[in-house]
Structure 1
């Protein structure tokens, strides 16, 4: 299985590259401006952790999927600017992001094809980004 930008409760905001969601949440809850590298129009396909777990269970029960490369993702492209706006709204933060120079090697756009996952596993992401963000924000507030 190939996972795309998995996120969820208790994710470490100190992780160097895989932590945009927990970093944005932590900054918004603290009333601090988060950093966005580049113009913020780069996109990612975010996957809530319970969706990734479900994909693992489906794969374990699908012998015909053995040896196949199967994408596990939310199936939707979201820009970092859109992500920040959603987190800011859900946290009621009154902050603006700080845009810094783009990081060398960062991928500009990412969107997984879920065709093989649907065909071989019967996979369908069951948690939309907004709900996954709400659950993750709730864990940061606890």
Structure 2
């Protein structure tokens, strides 16, 4: 997260108002005392201004607008749900048919599907001919 208000380390900032216009260089304390702290934040536009020894550009933003933007971003960001289908080499034909039909339903719903085919135990090694037959 970008530094805001007292988190800004510089004594002077380049101030950008609500309309996005650069106003000039001002002392940080003067800008912080000039607006309603309940409605607005002063956000630094650079994350690493402390290392660069430059005066950071800081923008006055409405808390309400940031909240609306974050909510809108959450709604537009698709949540990719993942499902995992585990199979062993000794799966019965009926069980395989059922699992494949379930996986088809998941894919149609938009889930991301990962298929894992493994040996149940090391003792249950299945020979290559039977594995090819199962696939």
TM-score by length of 1: 0.27
Comparing both chains, which one has the higher relative contact order based on Cα–Cα distances under 8 Å and sequence gaps of 6 or more?
1
